[in-house]
Amino acid sequence: MKLNIIELPKDDYKGGPSSLCPGCGHDQISNVVINAAWENGVQPEKIAKMSGIGCSSKTPAYFLGKSHGFNTLHGRMPSVTTGANVTNKDLHYIGVSGDGDSASIGIGQFVHAIRRNLNMVYIIENNGVYGLTKGQYSATVEKGSQKRKADANESPPIDLCAMAINLGCTFVARSFSGSKKQLTSIMKAAISHRGTAVIDVISPCVTFSNNDESFRSYGYVKDNQSELHSYDYIPTFQPIEAVEVPEGEYKDITLFDGSTLRLETIGEDHDPTDAVGALSQIHQAEQDQRHVTGLLYYNPEPKTLDEMLNLSDTPLAELDIDKLRPSEDDLASLLADFRA
């Protein structure tokens, strides 16, 4: 049996059987999470998988069965993750959300988790449609989208990547559930990043939104995807020379845990440390009715929430009682001050 660097089989990273529609993009993303965590050699028990409500938020049941998880409330995954994160800062938090969960009901929590630079991977499985309630438009759907039973959507879409960049998010990527190699490299890099890593994954809904004219159908994305770079993720335990450097230019990003994301330029050069350039890429793609995918923005500098809070080195959940409760002397001296 093939084992990873910490000698665990891939089965230790799998979850239960999926109950989503056959062919759902979300299941491909679950497989990417499994592969990324296994290949990175992350201890499953040191991962916490978090989600909100919706088709996407069901998926933590389908991956990482040896990790604790919390399938929370609609749009509220970020706040629950925030509370958990400051309580046990040493875990890897992988949050799964959808476009309804993050761009509509939970947009406030999406915004504020990013503002706090919560140390987590924030995956949005974005299909532009509400699945579980059977096909209503979400807030990320393109203007003019036409569904069988509804009037055309007249409102402009919310671009969660652009929003994340504007909010100072420290790792912003867009990918496609059908681009397994790209998504896996980005997923691994996001796990290795320290801070909020937003990955907006276009994930076609095969039941309600897979007609070819729909912007998030397989056909449309395949034909209209502009990739920023080609990516190779090189883990710490692998010599960097082992990765064959292709023709052309490349740039290495060293991530928090010492691993490397190698960006190989394919088309126009995009510098992921340039927020203005990243926003320009997003807006240009929208104008051209295309999807720009890849690592849009990266900034490893800002402090994460647990660093800003100056929390004790031991996770708060693991502190002994005598660290949590001030002593009897403390109380006596406090009361003496009150009485003075």
Q: Is 167 in the site for other proteins (CB under 8 A)?
A: no
b/e burial code for range 143-159 (CB count within 10 A of at least 16 → b): eebebeeeeebeeebbb
d(CA 307, CA 59): 30
Whichever of 212 and 329 has its CB closer to other proteins, that residue is 329
Whose CA is closest to 78, among 29, 123, 133, 131?
123
- Of the candidate residues 108, 144, 219, 258, the single one contacting other proteins (CB under 8 A): 108
Stretch that binds other proteins, among 28-36, 132-140, 163-171, 307-315 (CB under 8 A): 307-315
What are the tokens at 314? 């031991």
Task: List the x/- string, 49-88, binding to other proteins by CB under 8 A.
Answer: xx---------xx---xxxxxxxxx--x-xxxxxxxxxxx
17 binds other proteins (CB under 8 A): no
Local structure of 35: helix, strand or coil: helix
Binding range to other proteins, per CB under 8 A, among 29-37, 130-138, 230-238, 320-328 = 320-328
Q: Please report whether residue 5 would count as binding other proteins according to CB under 8 A.
A: no
Q: How far is the CB of 326 from other proteins (least distance, A)?
A: 4
Total residues contacting other proteins by CB under 8 A comes to 61
CB of 72 to other proteins, least distance (A): 7
Minimum distance, C-beta of residue 2 to other proteins, in the bound complex (Å): 22
Contacts of residue 287, defined as CB under 8 A and 6 or more positions apart, other chains included, come to: none
Residue 11 found at the interface with other proteins (CB under 8 A): no
Dist CA 161 CA 122 (whole Å): 11
| Strand 92-98, strand 47-51: pairing | parallel
CA dihedral 185, 189, 190, 194 (to 10 degrees): 180
Please name the amino acid found at residue 56: S
User: How many whole angstroms separate alpha carbon 170 and alpha carbon 184?
Assistant: 19
Tell me: does residue 313 bind other proteins (CB under 8 A).
Answer: yes
Residue (51 or 209) nearer to other proteins, CB: 51
Q: How far apart are CA 74 and CA 88, in angstroms?
A: 23
Q: Can residue 134 be called a binding residue for other proteins (CB under 8 A)? A: no
Question: Closer to other proteins at the Cβ: 72 or 184?
Answer: 72
Question: Smaller CB distance to other proteins: residue 53 or 189?
Answer: 53
B/e letters for 65-89, b = 16+ CB within 10 Å, e = fewer, are bebbbebbbbbbbbbbbbebbbebb
Which of these ranges, 106-114, 146-154, 212-220, 290-298, lies near other proteins under the rule CB under 8 A? 106-114
Q: How far is the CB of 86 from other proteins (least distance, A)?
A: 4
Q: Which of residues 230-259 bind other proteins (CB under 8 A)?
A: none
In three-state secondary structure terms, 301 is coil
Rule CB under 8 A: which residues touch other proteins?
Answer: 43-46, 48-50, 60-61, 65-73, 76, 78-88, 90-91, 108-109, 111-112, 116, 305-306, 309-313, 315-319, 321, 323-326, 328, 330-331, 334-335, 338-339
